[in-house]
Amino acid sequence: MTPLAKGTIPEDHPLSLSWGGRHEGHLDRFLAEADVVLVVGSSLDEADAGSKGLPFPEHLIQIDACREVIGRTCPVSVGLVGDAQAVLNQILTELPHMEQTMRRSPAARIAECIARSEGSVQDEPGWQFMDAIQQALPRDAVVTNDASRANGWAIFYLRRYLPNTFNITGNLGALGYAFPAAVGAKLAYPERQALCIVGDGGFQFTPFSLGTAVQHRINAVAVVFNDACYGRIKRMQHQHFGRTIGADLPSPDFVRLAESYGAAGCRADDPQQLYDALVAAWQRDIPTLIEVPIEERLTLAS
Where do contacts with Mg ion occur on this chain (CB under 5 A)?
Answer: 199-201, 227, 231
Cα angle at 214 between 213 and 220, to 5 degrees?
A: 45
Q: How far is the CB of 171 from ligand TPP (least distance, A)?
A: 11
Q: Which does 28 bind (CB under 5 to 8 A by kind): ligand TPP, Mg ion, none?
A: none
Give which of 44, 42, 2, 40 is closest to 19, Cα–Cα: 2
Q: Please give the C-alpha separations between residue 257 and each of 179, 208, 262, in angstroms, as whole numbers.
A: 14, 10, 9
Q: Which does 180 bind (CB under 5 to 8 A by kind): ligand TPP, Mg ion, none?
A: none
Half-sphere exposure of 160 (CA within 13 A, CB side): 26
Site pattern 133..172 for ligand TPP (x: CB under 6 A): --------------xxxx----------------------
Q: Pick from 61, 88, 174, 187: which binds ligand TPP (CB under 6 A)?
A: 174
Residue 25 DSSP label: G
- The yes or no reply on residue 236 touching ligand TPP (CB under 6 A) is no
Shortest-Cβ-distance residue relative to ligand TPP? 199
- The yes or no reply on residue 3 touching ligand TPP (CB under 6 A) is no
Of 12-20, 41-49, 65-73, 195-203, which segment contacts ligand TPP by CB under 6 A?
Answer: 195-203
Q: Give Cα 225 to chain centroid, integer Å.
A: 15
Give which of 71, 88, 75 is closest to 8, Cα–Cα: 88
- The yes or no reply on residue 232 touching ligand TPP (CB under 6 A) is yes
Q: Which residues bind ligand TPP (CB under 6 A)?
A: 147-150, 173-176, 199-202, 227, 229-233, 299
